[in-house]
Amino acid sequence: MSAAIITGSSGLVGSEAALYFEALGFDVIGIDNGMREMYFGHSASTQWMTAKLKNELRHYTHYDVDIRDTNAINRIFAKYSTDIQLVIHAAAQPSHDWAATDPVTDFTVNANGTSILLEATRRYAPEAVFIYMSTNKVYGDRPNTLPLVEQETRWEIDPCHAYANGIPETMPVDATLHSLFGASKLAADVLVQEYGRYFGMKTVCFRGGCLTGPNHSGTQLHGFLAYLMKCAMTGAPYTVFGYKKKQVRDNIHSADLIHAFHQFFLDPRCGMAYNMGGGRFSNCSMLEAIALCKEITGNVLNHTYVEQGRRGDHIWWISDISRFKADYPDWSVQFGVKEILQQIYELNMERWGVECLA
């Protein structure tokens, strides 16, 4: 049976991929040592998802292994060897803010861990497709130089600008503030591309905006849409940082993202990079997201506003996904922001101890 190795298998992207590819008949090898709880505390733990995957998937094997452990990673890859048809690398230190508290851990997880996985793939499964979950933070804060227009509920780009349909992969990455997280992810991103170009491996970077869905263990420092809904449901306090609450993000449901992964797996290329998000179909400002949470839950969000924005954060980000859609015309975004929030609400009421809105 074909095998798929998935790192970060208990996280949002990894768990969605594990469920999807196991259903397609793959033996799924999950690698996840639960570091999300170390980063963000017990409320962000993914242990509940680890248990779900172990209990519900017949062809799932879990390894509690750190991706920085070269020997352990090599043993896993050697065991499955050429049965490995697909590697999805979704493990990461994922927070822009957390990285500044421990830059060495951030870099070794994001950059060194990726290097170890790439080399293990090259050594033991060189024909496998290698999919890396990158980030739009590789562009640093350059998006903040775009000509933005203030509207009633959001910032929006000048409609005459070349990026009116979203930010493309051609945006420069040099001479801009990346944040330490952005730097570690950019290092890994370039390395993934280089293994594709230099060694002829089938590698791709998906530069995600806001990745979301009901399986997200959202927390204050990462996973804003899920955490926003959690706060709206439970009454927990939420803080909005800067830009008059009008900062804009596109949001892509993890299911739409995994369908994009599958399309690439079916027709892989070498050393590719794609901006990946909800695009013009699925995006919102913070004000708009707060209003949707109120509409869905019936609750007024308990939030405070801090005038100072987060350093290096984007004021406006909408991905131009036209390059991927041109290469893979059978793929499209299916879930909009309101539908995503409704799913997060309905599928997490029991886990978060909330009664359904009458």
Q: Are 94 and 220 in contact (CB under 8 A)?
A: no
Kindly tell me if the per-residue pLDDT of 42 is higher than 50: yes
**Residue listed under structure tokens 């799913």:** 343
What is the per-residue pLDDT for 358?
38
The whole-number average pLDDT for the span 11-33 is 97
At 351, the pLDDT band (50, 70, 90 cuts) reads confident
Q: 279 pairs with which residues across the strands?
A: none
What is the per-residue pLDDT for 355?
53
| Cα(55)–Cα(47) distance, integer angstroms | 12
What is the separation of C-alpha 25 from the centre of its chain, rounded to a whole number of angstroms?
24
The whole-number average pLDDT for the span 211-218 is 85
- One-letter amino acid at 79 equals K
pLDDT of 118-129, one tens digit each?
Answer: 999 999 999 999
| Cα(157)–Cα(319) distance, integer angstroms | 12
**For residues 310 and 287, which has the higher predicted lDDT (pLDDT)?**
287
- Write the CB contacts of 154 (distance below 8 Å, at least 6 apart in sequence): 246, 248, 284, 285, 287, 288
What is the per-residue pLDDT for 315?
97
What is the per-residue pLDDT for 217?
76
Which of 22-36, 173-187, 208-222 is the least confident region?
208-222
| Cα(313)–Cα(144) distance, integer angstroms | 8
Kindly tell me if the per-residue pLDDT of 335 is higher than 60: yes
| Cα(89)–Cα(82) distance, integer angstroms | 18
| 141 half-sphere exposure, CB direction, 13 A CA radius | 13
| Cα(186)–Cα(192) distance, integer angstroms | 10
What token pair was written down for 272? 């590719």
pLDDT of 256-266, one tens digit each?
Answer: 999 999 999 99
The whole-number average pLDDT for the span 334-351 is 94
Three-state secondary structure along 207-253?
EECEEECCCCCCECCECHHHHHHHHHHHCCCEEEECHHHCCEEEEEE
Q: Are 347 and 255 in contact (CB under 8 A)?
A: no
At 311, the pLDDT band (50, 70, 90 cuts) reads confident
Average pLDDT score over the chain = 95
Q: Are 215 and 49 in contact (CB under 8 A)?
A: yes
The sign of the CA dihedral 288, 289, 290, 295 is: positive
Kindly tell me if the per-residue pLDDT of 223 is higher than 90: no
**For residues 351 and 120, which has the higher predicted lDDT (pLDDT)?**
120
Q: How many CB atoms lie within 10 A of CB 245?
A: 17
At 336, the pLDDT band (50, 70, 90 cuts) reads very high
Q: 253 pairs with which residues across the strands?
A: 212
Length of the chain as a residue count: 358
What token pair was written down for 76? 């896993």
What is the per-residue pLDDT for 310?
86
Three-state secondary structure along 142-194?
HHHHCCEEECCCCEEECCCCCCCCCECCCCCCCCCCCHHHHHHHHHHHHHHHH
DSSP 67: T
What token pair was written down for 188? 């890994």
| Cα(73)–Cα(77) distance, integer angstroms | 6
pLDDT of 93-142, one tens digit each?
Answer: 998 889 999 999 999 999 999 999 999 999 999 999 999 999 999 999 99
Determine phi and psi for 102, rounding to 5 degrees: -155, 75
At 51, the pLDDT band (50, 70, 90 cuts) reads very high
The whole-number average pLDDT for the span 163-175 is 97
| Cα(241)–Cα(309) distance, integer angstroms | 5
DSSP 308: S
**Can you identify the CATH homologous superfamily of domain 3-348?**
NAD(P)-binding Rossmann-like Domain (3.40.50.720)
What is the per-residue pLDDT for 38?
86
